[in-house]
Amino acid sequence: MENQNTDNNSPAMARINPVRLGYDSRFQFKCHPGVSCFTLCCRGIDILLTPYDIIRLKTRLELSSAEFLAIYTEPHLLEKTDLPMVTLKKMDDEQASCPFVRDTGCLVYEDRPTACRYYPLGVASLQHQEGADDQGFFFFVNEPHCKGFEEACDWTVAEWRTDQGVDVRDAVNAEWTDLLVRKRSFPSSIKLTEKAKQMFFMVSYDVDKLRRFVFESSFLQRMPVAEDVRQQLASDDVALLQFGLRWFKDVLYKQRDPHAQAAAAGGDNVQ
C-alpha cells in the first residue's frame, strides 16, 4: 500500500481511501454517548485479545486465567503463523455483541482490550520486531456507521495512542508481538508441534497455569533464577508473562530446527 493522502485532514476522505498513517498523521475523532452510533462498534466484530488484555480482564472480573478463557473467549489459529489466538466470545443476540457492552457503554471500560482502545485506528504492521520502522504503520478502521469522525476533536496518532493507553499495552505485549513476527519468517513447510502450540497458548494467555509450570515442575531446577526474580514471578502477572515469553522465544528460535526446540520446550506437564 502506498503512502498517499496522509496529510489530508478530511475525515470523509480518510475513511474512503486506504491510507498509511504514521505517528504524526492527524485525524478528527471523538466517541461519547452523544453520538448516534454509540456502542455500534462493539457489536458484530471479532475482538482479538492480547496477553495483557487477558491479565487485565481476568483480574478485573476476579477470575483465574482458565475461568476467563473458558467463559469469555474462543480459540483460533492465526493465519500465516499457525499460532493459537483468542477472541472475545460474542453474545447470543441479534447483533452478536461484545459480552461487556451495554447501551450505556462498556462495563469494563478501564480495562477494555487493546483493539478497542486503538479504534478507530488499526495496526497494519506488527511493532517491536527487530529493525522495525520507527514510524509505525496504522490505518483507519472503515465503518460507514461511525459518526465519531464528525466530532471536532483533533489528534495525532501518537497523541491518540498515549491518550488511550495503547502505548503502554504495546510495550507490555512487545515480546509476544515479536514472537508472531518471527514465526511469520518460518518457511511455510515448517509447522510447530501440537506441544509447542500448547506451550505458546499457556505462556501467552494462561498466566496462572504458567505460574504452576514454573513453580510446581522442575523448571527452576533446569533454569535457575535469582531469588528476587523468583519472588517477583510468584506474585506479578506481567513480570511472569514477559519472563515466559522471553523463555519460550529463546527455546523456540535459538536453533534453526524449530521442531527440536519445540520438543525441548515441553518440560513437565502441569494441569
Q: For 167-208, write each residue's pLDDT tens digit.
A: 999 999 999 988 888 887 777 777 788 998 999 999 999 999
Regions of the chain with pLDDT less than 70: 1-18, 125-136, 254-271
- Backbone φ and ψ for 73, nearest 5 degrees, come out as -130, 165
Report pLDDT for 142.
Answer: 76
- Set of cell numbers at residue 182: 518471527
| Alpha helices (H) along 101-154 | 114-118
pLDDT of residue 135: 52
pLDDT in tens, 133-144: 445 689 888 788
The 3-state DSSP class for residue 74 equals strand
Q: What is the C-alpha separation between 51 and 86, in angstroms, rounded?
A: 9
